[in-house]
Amino acid sequence: MNPSGWALTTLTIGLVMAVFSDLSIRRIPNVVTFGMVIVALALHTWFGQWEGLLFSLGGLLIGLLCFLPLYAFAAMGAGDVKLLTAVGAVVGAKVVFIAALMTIIAGGLLALVYVAAKGGLPAMLKRYVSMCWLLLARQPTYIPPAPGEAAGLRFPYALAIACGTALALI
């Protein structure tokens, strides 16, 4: 198998395991993310020597930096950050940056579907209309979701990362 085949296989297996785990137990195990990183570093180093190692480390760093601020502000879980970091180790800096952008778009769309499926779309729209009126009145205010409101619930983000990564690779 050629180097890109190994990378795609590693990426696919890792993302599928992460998505199933995140959907079922709401966790992305370290064995999945660290396993992806170790395999990516080893394969890129094996096939590309120092250049391959730097390619993988660059992707790892960019993947980490893309989502670390979201974790710092409690907008994302650590497993999601580690998953994008692992994706970066496999696909490199350029692709992981695009994957992060596509993940944010996919995450927004999936969040809307999630909120709608939980029956929380009317409450969310009402909050956003209120915030728009406040903005027009030059009193920009964020109105947080009420306790228990669907828009305030956390949802498994590994699926968004997998979708964003797939879009970046197309």
pLDDT tens-digit profile of 35-72? 999 999 999 999 989 999 999 999 999 999 999 999 99
Provide DSSP, 11-56: HHHHHHHHHHHHHHHS---HHHHHHHHHHHHHHHHHHHHHHHHHHH
- Give the separation between CA 56 and CA 47, rounded to whole angstroms: 12
The alpha-helical segments, DSSP class H, found in the chain are 3-25, 30-72, 78-91, 93-117, 121-136, 158-169
Q: Given a cut of 90, is residue 162 above it in pLDDT?
A: yes
Q: Count of residues for the chain?
A: 170
Kindly report the pTM of this predicted structure: 0.89
Mean pLDDT of the chain: 93
